[in-house]
Structures are given as C-alpha cells and as structure tokens.
Structure 1
Amino acid sequence: MLATDDPLILDLVEWVARGERSHADLMESWRTSCPRLTVWEDAIEHGYLARQGGLIAVTAKGWALLKTSGRRVA
C-alpha cells in the first residue's frame, strides 16, 4: 500500500476521483520542475490511476486507497 511519506500521491488520487480529468488537465495542474517529485508516475506505477482513452481514471486499487485512508469522495 502507500508509504506514509507519499501524501501527494493520495492527494492526486483524491483530486482525480472528485471529477473527470483529462491527461492534459492533470499535467497542467500537477506539473513540477523537480525531477525527484514523480507523483504522477508513482500513482501509475502503484496502480492507483490509469489512462482510459483521453481521460485519467481512479482504479479499484486507487478507490481502496482512498477508502483505507479515510478520505471520502462522493
């Protein structure tokens, strides 16, 4: 599951869960110039998010992460 030092991944998954997001929207909102900050790549690698066509979706594993973290997304 998610390490305790990865709160940004949890924030990203929650952000995607709150509304339909395109890949372009995600890249614009979560862009960084820091090569050590790989939130998007880590969320994909861990299986929390996936590309579906032109949209980004929360996976079953991502929904489970939100549930176990106590975050509520309607």
Structure 2
Amino acid sequence: MAVTADPLVLDFVEWVARAPRSHAEVIETWRTSCPRLTVWEDAADLGYVAREAIAGRGLFVMVTDAGAQLLRDSGRVVG
C-alpha cells in the first residue's frame, strides 16, 4: 500500500512513537512561526496522535492506532 502522508507528518508521528512526549515538549520542539507549517496540528487532525492526561505526570501526546498503522504502512515501524 502506498502511503501519501506529508513527510513531515510522518517524521512527527515517528518521533512521538519513539518515546513518551509531554505536551510541553511537543510544543517546544515542533514550534514554528509559519502559519502554513502545521505538522503537529495536522497529525492530530488526521487522528495519528492524541493528547492524553496521565495522572500525576501531566498532558502527553501519544501515537494512536491509526498513527501506528501509518508508520507500518510507510515502512517506519518503531520499536
């Protein structure tokens, strides 16, 4: 199956899949001043990542089942 997702969205989803990422880390690392570069928002809108509150730890960004499938389909299987 050919994957046609934006390469930056794939990079972002792969980065999130490698380790738990706090919401603050995601915002800091993927911040941009360009209103047309919305990688993190695009990945969330497409259902590849989601925010999840973890008791005592705060808000984290996690890869969804759809995001994991995207990575597998693109040959970017992570751990």
Residue 3 of structure 1: CA displacement? 3.4
1:60 aligns with 2:71: no
Residue 37 of structure 1 aligns to a residue whose secondary structure is coil
Residue 55 of structure 1 aligns to a residue whose secondary structure is strand
TM-score norm. by structure 2 comes to 0.87
Which structure has the larger Rg?
Answer: 2
2 CA distance for matches of 1:11 and 1:61? 15
Structure with higher strand content: 2
TM-score norm. by structure 1 comes to 0.92
Stretches of structure 1 lacking an aligned partner (at least 5 in a row):
none
Runs of 4+ in structure 1 over 3 Å off: none
Identity %: 60
Match of 1:33 in 2: 33
1:48 aligns with 2:48: yes
Stretches of structure 2 lacking an aligned partner (at least 5 in a row):
54-58
1 CA distance for matches of 2:4 and 2:40? 15
Residue 70 of structure 1: CA displacement? 0.2
Give the aligned residue type for 1:64: Q
Residue 30 of structure 1: CA displacement? 0.5
Aligned residue-pair number: 73
Aligned CA-pair RMSD: 1.5
